[in-house]
Structure 1
Amino acid sequence: MFAPTGAAPAPVDPATVAQEAVDQMLLRGPAIGITPKPGGKGVVGMPVYMWTEKGAETYGPNTASASAGGMTVTATARVTKIVWTMGDGKTVTCTTAGTPYKAEYGKKPSPDCGHRYNVPSSTIPSGKFHVTATSTWTIDWQVNGVGQTGQLTEIRTSDVDIAVAEVQVLN
């Protein structure tokens, strides 16, 4: 960098360097796990479990550093919430990765990230509920050796379609 005599180079903005660190990360939308599974059928009134895999790219933590102007900034990204838009007009906000469903849970609701459909998906034109999961990544950054800190936010989305049927009981 050339600077005329007596002129100091422009200071580097740590937040800009932090964004460069974030740009090195691969932050994805949730790796959706849901019951019923896409291609299968759920039942009205039965618990729906929603979750994401807990990988560095899908839930965090994910860490990267970038340097400029003699400073190094380290950024660490973590998902702080996932908002599930269920396709039936309802949304569910989960502050955990959720719990994968296991057969032994039976009809118990999810302990941390669940939903129940009150109507079958046949009530909408597509015949399936379009479920969207939107992750909010909170990125904490700090300038190494200086203690200056800040925070950035990134949003990532994934989606899936599921069918939910109504069960008729005959006597």
Structure 2
Amino acid sequence: MDPAQLAQQAADKMRLRAPEIGITPKPGGKGVVGMPVYMWTETGPETYGPNTASASAGAVTVTATAKVSKIVWQMGDGKTVTCTTPGTPYEPEYGKKPSPDCGHRYEVPSSTQPSGKFHVTATSTWTIDWQVAGGGQTGQLTEIRDSDVDITVVEVQVLN
């Protein structure tokens, strides 16, 4: 059997999933134009890696290790943010500070969209490195997974 096919079998055992989206504002809540938006994913073997599995045929065993190399966030306002970390979950003490590794700011309210919400899609690129046990062949596979949420962003009017 072709080692690359065994590598795919090993990858299939891993049950790699799409990002488990964390975002501020939370779906169902409201964000404010100009305020920092934090994006992140839960980190685990199936949502960010690393994840390792093996597959064998006859005397050949292939071990594959998968991890997310990037998450591309389509923010619903025409902008895209590429993050090479899982992101930082927002904490209230961060206040108005931007995310240190995976953030965005909306410049217009979501009322500019037909649905009244921004449709945010997070697409993980899983890089799967594999090798035949005992040395020999190595290779790489790529798998893509995505998930989405809708968020509301409003403008705040200040009156004097």
What's the TM-score, normalizing by structure 2? Answer: 0.99
Question: Which aligned pairs between 1:68-147 and structure 2 lie closer than 5 A?
Answer: 68-147=57-136
Question: Which aligned pairs between 1:23-102 and structure 2 lie closer than 5 A?
Answer: 23-102=12-91
Gaps of 5+ in 2: none
- Distance, in Å, in 2 between the alignment partners of 1:81 and 1:121 is 26
- Distance, in Å, in 1 between the alignment partners of 2:84 and 2:136 is 28
Partner deviation per Cα, 1:65-103 (whole Å, 9 max, x = no partner): 000131000000000000000000000000000000000
- Distance, in Å, in 1 between the alignment partners of 2:35 and 2:79 is 16
- Distance, in Å, in 2 between the alignment partners of 1:81 and 1:124 is 27
- Distance, in Å, in 1 between the alignment partners of 2:126 and 2:119 is 22
Q: Look up the equivalent residue of 2:102 and give its one-letter code.
A: C
User: For residue 13 of structure 1, what is the aligned residue in structure 2?
Assistant: 2
SS at match of 2:5: helix
- Distance, in Å, in 2 between the alignment partners of 1:156 and 1:43 is 29
User: For residue 160 of structure 1, what is the aligned residue in structure 2?
Assistant: 149
What stretches of structure 1 move > 3 A for 4+ residues in a row? none
- Distance, in Å, in 1 between the alignment partners of 2:36 and 2:82 is 16
- Distance, in Å, in 1 between the alignment partners of 2:127 and 2:135 is 21
User: For residue 139 of structure 2, what is the aligned residue in structure 1?
Assistant: 150
**Identity of aligned pairs, percent?**
84
Gaps of 5+ in 1: 1-11
Partner deviation per Cα, 1:30-66 (whole Å, 9 max, x = no partner): 0000000000000000000000011111000111100
- Distance, in Å, in 2 between the alignment partners of 1:69 and 1:119 is 59
Displacement, 1:147?
Answer: 3.3
- Distance, in Å, in 2 between the alignment partners of 1:99 and 1:124 is 27
Displacement, 1:146?
Answer: 2.5
